[in-house]
Amino acid sequence: DIVMTQSPLSLSVTPGEAASISCRSSQSLLHSNGNNYLDWYVQKPGQSPQLLIYMASNRASGVPDRFSGSGSGTDFTLKISKVEPEDIGFYYCMQVLEISFTFGPGTKVDIK
Amino acid sequence: EVQLVESGGGLVQPGGSLRLSCAASRFSISSYWMTWVRQAPGKGLEWVANIKEDGSQKFYVDSVKGRFTISRDNAKNSLYLQMNTLRADDTAVYFCAKSHLIGSNGDLQHWGQGTLVTVSS
């Protein structure tokens, strides 16, 4: 199975500042069609997960443009340009290239 | 707005069975891959299984192979997870989810609220 790692595992951010989460996969997620099969999700306290980014860099509908995804192959990054208090929660990357799909361990984001 | 509502969770003894259901509304599941994801108490997310639009392909995480069966009834707009030979480590909230893109088995844009399965004697 493809193993996903994330760093940092915990992040405390001042509102208005930028934040960045790294996700790495044990195998390349780049398909021969040119797409990277990597999604980003956030799970806010007491809620179900929400899709933020799919195929590494495509923002899901309704997701604020302060969220962006980048990367290719085995290294990916989720950036929040200006963190807002509502952004607290656990952020997960997930590879959807090979069955079994696998999530990263999650990054806890809270507000200073 | 798209809605997914899970049901069927509860307390079951080790070795027992449960059948989870996920009722979809305001869209037709027949056009989408559907997925089950679980979350053990205080833990991260774990992909469990998914099923192709027409039910012709089904995939499972290794830990549930041979014990869980994913199925769907497109006429009833519902997804199911039959769970047999349950173990304590199956204790989790189980979410059903719908892919965003037609033909895609990732990009899980819509999720239900989850149903709690507790396996304990």
> Mean pLDDT, chain B, as a whole number?
96
Count each helix (H run) and each strand (E run) in chain B, helices first. Answer: 0, 11
What does the pLDDT read at residue B102?
86
Contact yes or no for A49 and B111 at CB 8 A: yes
- Cis geometry, peptide bond prior to residue A100 (ω within 30 degrees of 0): yes
Annotate B42-55 with b (16+ C-beta within 10 A) or e (fewer). eeebbbbbbbebee
What does the pLDDT read at residue A1?
93
Give the gap in angstroms from C-alpha B28 to the nearest C-alpha of chain A: 19
What does the pLDDT read at residue B40?
98
What does the pLDDT read at residue B101?
87
Hey, is the C-beta of A103 within 8 angstroms of any chain B C-beta? yes
Contact yes or no for A54 and B107 at CB 8 A: yes
Q: Are A89 and A44 in contact (CB under 8 A)?
A: yes
CA atoms within 13 A on the CB side of B25: 6
Contact yes or no for B47 and A94 at CB 8 A: yes
Instruction: Identify the weakest region by mean pLDDT among A70-74, A86-90, B32-36, B102-106.
Output: B102-106
Q: Are A109 and A84 in contact (CB under 8 A)?
A: no
With residue B21 as reference, give the H or E element that holds it. Answer: strand B18-25
C-beta neighbour count of A10 within 10 angstroms: 11
Binning chain B into helix, strand and coil, the percentages to the nearest 5 are 5, 50, 40
pLDDT, one tens digit per residue, over B40-90 is 999 999 999 999 999 999 999 999 999 999 999 999 999 999 999 999 999
Question: Average pLDDT of each block of 10 consecutive residues along chain A (112 residues)?
Answer: 97 96 98 96 97 97 97 98 96 96 97 92
What does the pLDDT read at residue B105?
87
CA–CA dist B108, B93 (Å, integer): 17
DSSP B9: -
Contacts made by residues B84-88, CB under 8 angstroms, sequence distance 24+: B84/B17, B85/B15, B85/B17, B86/B12, B86/B13, B86/B14, B86/B15, B86/B16, B86/B17, B86/B18, B86/B117, B86/B119, B87/B14, B87/B119, B88/B14, B88/B119, B88/B120
